[in-house]
Amino acid sequence: MNVVESLAPRPNLRVLITAGANGIGLAIAKAFLEAGARVHVCDIDTKALAALPKGITHTQADVSQHTDVDRLFEEAAALGGLDVVVNNAGIAGPTASIDEIDDESWTRTIDINLNGQYRVAHRAAPLLRESQGLLINLASVAGRLGFAYRTPYSASKWAVVGLTKSLACELGPEGVRVNAILPGIVSGPRIEKVIEDRAAKRGISYAEMEQENLAKVSMRKMVEPTDIAAMALFLSAPGGANISGQALSVCANVESL
Ligand code: NAD
């Protein structure tokens, strides 16, 4: 296999993606489908699940619920094993100062963004040992930077990087790779809501907040969901076979948020 060929994942990979019905998860699901993979996703958005492209199977499951995650793995067993598991589910959490944050929104953010990834990793590990597979955890550049008024989100994503590095150390000797992808500011409805909430908190307009965010990005533009999907495909391809335990940013020199 030459280097160019090594950039494509082998066909018929068996891939599980959490929160795959919208946004980044959907872009990753479509990219794997186009690469010839068999793809199973979960999500809580029943309408979006029903609208998934033909060929992607799904389970309605909330990663904060152990019984849902059990059912997800039962249904994904139809793939006959798993080569790649993408821990993508994550919520934005509250936009609030440390004085305003309440226990419920703090706990919910950690429960979905961190504990949800643990629940999936725990069930995926035996399957990935069997396939010598790959676990990809979606973190964020907020998992290596501070993010004012968004402490629960940032803390959860720093923790995802720790989860990734520890699992990579533990599972690497057994042939399983574990990496985190850290997206920068990705275009889509989610970031629009974050900009809106932060603008309100700062008492500035949406346009001013957006401009302030983009001024911190060297290329002055947002990342696209397909850019994240491209990184997931690369990690799954033979060319990525010696990459593990890494926190890979897909962004353009974001120095702060
Ligand atoms: P999104 O909000 O566009 O989509 C999230 C999906 O998650 C939705 O389909 C939603 O129904 C589903 N979901 C929410 N809670 C769930 C749960 N408990 N169980 C299962 N599914 C659930 O999000 P996105 O922007 O596509 O982000 C995907 C991942 O990338 C997240 O982990 C996010 O933190 C991370 N990320 C996003 C950005 C960004 O700018 N959008 C930046 C950095 C990191």
ipTM of the complex in this document: 0.99
> What's the 105 CA to ligand 1 centre distance in angstroms?
16
> What's the 23 CA to ligand 1 centre distance in angstroms?
7
The residue whose CA is least distant from atom 12 of ligand 1 is 19
Which pLDDT score is estimated for 254?
A: 67
- For this structure, is 153 an active site residue? yes
Q: What is the mean pLDDT of the chain?
A: 96
The residue whose CA is least distant from atom 41 of ligand 1 is 186
Which pLDDT score is estimated for 194?
A: 87
Per-residue pLDDT 10s for the chain (257 aa) are 999 999 999 999 999 999 999 999 999 999 999 999 999 999 999 999 999 999 999 999 999 999 999 999 999 999 999 999 999 999 999 999 999 999 999 999 999 999 999 999 999 999 999 999 999 999 999 999 998 999 999 999 999 999 999 999 999 999 999 999 999 999 999 899 989 998 998 999 999 999 998 998 999 999 999 999 999 999 999 999 999 999 999 998 766 66
Helix (H) or strand (E) holding 49: helix 46-50
Sorted by sequence, the CB contacts under 8 Å of residue 107 that are 6+ apart come out as none
- Contact by Cβ (8 Å): 156, 225: no
Which pLDDT score is estimated for 253?
A: 72
Which pLDDT score is estimated for 190?
A: 87
CA angle 166, 177, 2 (to 5 degrees): 150
Which pLDDT score is estimated for 252?
A: 87
- Contact by Cβ (8 Å): 25, 88: yes
Which residues surround ligand 1 with Cβ inside 6 Å?
A: 18-19, 21-25, 42-45, 48, 62-64, 88-91, 112, 138, 140, 183, 185-186, 188, 190-191
> What's the 125 CA to ligand 1 centre distance in angstroms?
22
